[in-house]
Structure 1
Amino acid sequence: SWPGNVRQLVNVIEQCVALTSSPVISDALVEQALEGENTALPTFVEARNQFELNYLRKLLQITKGNVTHAARMAGRNRTEFYKLLSRHELDANDFKE
């Protein structure tokens, strides 16, 4: 049974999805999101950076580290995509099988 209303449940789920690149949401992440309901929102820059990191990880997982394919999916050229990877300290080789 959910202790809050549906809007609160949706907010917690959305926050969990934004905070993980895993297909499974852990209990710890849900607890973190529940605790976070009473804390301040991250700044816009922090939220954007977290989104970018999760987005890049997901693209690299889907493409198995193929930067050309990932950049194309993101609508970016490879140079811009490599800059994003560098900014978030990601290495495409870590996603290759």
Structure 2
Amino acid sequence: MDQTIPPSRSPGLLASLRAGVGLVAQLLIGALLIFVASAVAMMTAFAGLMIAGAALLLRYCAVRQPAPVPVRVQDAPVTLQGRRTPRGWTVE
């Protein structure tokens, strides 16, 4: 006569170990994703601050050149010719 052992109702040591390793793997992957997302956000913020700093430096530390003085070529007065059009006066 053959005798069989009834299946145990509690999970074995190997199944518990496998579930524990799976849980730790999920936690590590989640922590890695959060770390990468925060690193990308920090790099983006740092790049924005660098661009803003460069804009401020260009705005306040740039060498200002005086506006060019217009030079009159002719000393004679300029006479403009005006004529009446249907929309009003036009000066040429």
TM-score when scaled to structure 1?
A: 0.22
More relative contact order in 1 or in 2 (CA 8 Å, sep 6+)? 1
More strand by share: 2
Task: Normalising by structure 2, report the TM-score.
Answer: 0.23
